[in-house]
Amino acid sequence: MNRAFRESFVPILGFLGLLFLLLLYVRYQVGLEAGEVTVITIQASSAQRADDDYFDERPNGILEADKQVNEIIDLIFERKWQQAELRLKQLVKQRNDALSLSLFGMLRYKQQRHAEALDFLDRAASKSPAWPNLFFYRGLVNSQLGNVNEALDDYRRLIEFNSNHFEAHYNLGLLLIRQHKLDDAVDVLERATTLAGGARRARAHYQLGRAWMEQGDAFKEKAVENFNRAIRYAPTYIDPRIALAKMEPDNEEGREAAREQLLSILELDAGNPSTLFALAQLETESGDISAAINRYRELLQFSPEHTAGQYNLGLLLLKKKRWREAREQFDKVIEFEPGNITAFFNRGRANYRLKEYQSALADYQRALALEKGKYPEALLNMGLVYVALKDFDAAKKSYQQALKLREDYPSAWYNLGMLHLRQDQTDEALDAFKQAVRIREDYARAWFNLGLLYSRKDQNDESIAAYETALKIEPNYAKARLNLAVRWVYKGEPQKAIEHYRKALEVDDTYSTAWYNLGLAYIEV
């Protein structure tokens, strides 16, 4: 009896030691999972694109019979704001017609004072006769202000006046793409390709290619045809080359072809930000993180304020556990974009890893405030910070707030379970881990902890079932294998225990606890 007690007690000591190691390990692991929830890759199309895609008119495209008007237009395009404004005030006093008010709207648009521009252009539109080009500028202004339907109407009204207006067709097509009205976009952009030559025609073919591409693989040939035409009309035009690279298949051969296409662009334009960004993304997707990091650094040498590049570089440095370097990148993003929510969140992750807990907490709180309190990932990670600060009540509150926002959040249930486990609240921990595996059936570590808790409650069969489930999910989960073996010892089946100890050692032949317990199991047999 005494020998049996000693043999059984040693596995228990190993078990308790394992629990201590697990608590340390799991806290680290859950923090990583919380970060992975929000890791994003900004696509080049969204990171690089802005309203500068829209065509503005050329000064010689809006010549008027009135010499005074043409002089004012020249001043506006030459950015001589004060002189233009003085001349315009005089013109409005003389005429106060649609043209003079429209020119004031054009000036305000160029000055990026969009609300004022819209006011002038609306007043101009109420005058009769209307100046047709006012609808072009009102379309630009409405686009900037997010009034998409109004912008569509403006471009269409201008086309009614002038069916050969290239810029109106081009901008209308671009808006239709962004609204995913792709059939209409194709019609409008096909017309645009007939209204201009050279670089302008190339841009129309590029956008037409995009309209085809976004309709799926069935229209891939039409997309490729238009991207190639864009290159033919403007050989140094970068965007269609990037688009062709992105259309390569997602396999090793396709990625290599895309890489060659992008490298050929750099021969035309060394340091092109869009190309370097696309190459970095391609290298990330191929798993070559070190190359991607170097590529983003190259991008930032040419374009130091490229926030998408800074952000993605920060994410990759987090992945490489280079916490301080990652934080520096998120610092730069926040400097340029003080409202960037995910930059605050990820800087919080870096600060947490650097054990600068108050700074991490401030970052998560800022991200939460910017999201108006609706950011469960930030609340989850705030809980981790509070645990590190040993403020367990605050940690519990954070996890519970996260679960109010997202009841089916397995990581929050898991962390709440770990908190209860730390505080020896067995039943509460058991309930939390049950919720975690209910939501995410393949949550191996939650099943492990269920096995641990069932053993505390002397529910041996339930404990064995939980460990076996964890091992079905992760067959090489050595700690679960060890604990399952211990449970078989307690069930009086040392032969089964020996089998599992051996399997644990196949995974890790340096696992001293498994070797020790294996020896005891042989004695038991």
Per-residue pLDDT of the chain (525 residues; tens, 9 = 90+): 333 322 333 343 343 343 333 333 332 223 222 222 222 222 222 222 333 466 665 444 454 567 888 888 889 888 898 998 999 899 888 888 888 898 999 999 988 898 999 999 999 999 988 888 889 999 999 988 889 999 999 999 999 999 999 999 999 999 999 999 999 999 999 999 999 999 999 999 999 999 999 999 899 999 999 999 999 999 878 788 888 887 888 777 787 888 888 888 888 888 888 889 989 988 888 889 999 999 999 999 999 999 999 999 999 999 999 999 999 999 999 999 998 999 999 999 999 999 999 999 999 999 999 999 999 999 999 999 999 999 999 999 999 999 999 999 999 999 999 999 999 999 999 999 999 999 999 999 999 999 999 999 999 999 999 999 999 999 999 999 999 999 998 898 989 989 998 998 998 889 888 888 888 878 876
Tracing tokens 């050279």 back to the chain, one arrives at 198
Give the helix ranges, DSSP H, for 39-132.
44-48, 67-77, 81-94, 98-110, 114-125
Q: Is residue 314 part of a domain?
A: no
Cβ atoms of 431 and 437 within 8 Å: the answer is: no
CA atoms within 13 A on the CB side of 75: 19
End-to-end CA separation in angstroms for the chain: 15
Q: Is residue 428 part of a domain?
A: no
Note the pTM of the prediction, 2 decimals: 0.65
| pLDDT score at 263 | 87
| pLDDT score at 9 | 35
Closest by CA position to 141, among listed 120, 127, 161? 120
Same domain, 445 and 509: yes
Same domain, 9 and 71: no
Q: Is residue 89 part of a domain?
A: yes
Same domain, 71 and 158: yes
Residue where a domain stops, chosen among 108, 131, 162: 162
Query: CA torsion sign, 136 to 141 to 143 to 147?
Result: negative
Please tell me the total count of domains within the chain. Answer: 2
Q: What torsion do the CA atoms of 251, 255, 258, 263 make, to the nearest 10 degrees?
A: -170
Distance CA 142, CA 121 (A): 10
Closest by CA position to 204, among listed 167, 235, 162? 167
Q: Is residue 112 part of a domain?
A: yes
- CB within 8 Å of 102: residues ≥ 6 apart: 120, 121, 124, 131, 133, 134, 137
Same domain, 88 and 15: no
Residue 126 has what DSSP assignment? T
Same domain, 78 and 9: no
Same domain, 70 and 14: no
SS (H, E, C) 2-39: HHHHHHHHHHHHHHHHHHHHHHHHHHHHHHHHHHHHHC
| pLDDT score at 28 | 29
Residue where a domain stops, chosen among 162, 190, 219: 162
| pLDDT score at 57 | 56
| pLDDT score at 361 | 98
Q: Is residue 247 part of a domain?
A: no
| pLDDT score at 170 | 95
Tracing tokens 């697990």 back to the chain, one arrives at 22
| pLDDT score at 394 | 98
Q: Is residue 120 part of a domain?
A: yes
CA-to-CA separations, 219 to 25, 244, 502, in angstroms, rounded? 50, 14, 56
Residue where a domain stops, chosen among 138, 162, 186: 162
Q: What is the CATH number of the domain that holds 85?
A: 1.25.40.10
Q: Is residue 424 part of a domain?
A: no
| pLDDT score at 357 | 98
Question: Which structure tokens are listed for 58?
Answer: 């050329």
Same domain, 467 and 505: yes
Give the domain range for residue 147.
66-162
Q: Is residue 296 part of a domain?
A: no
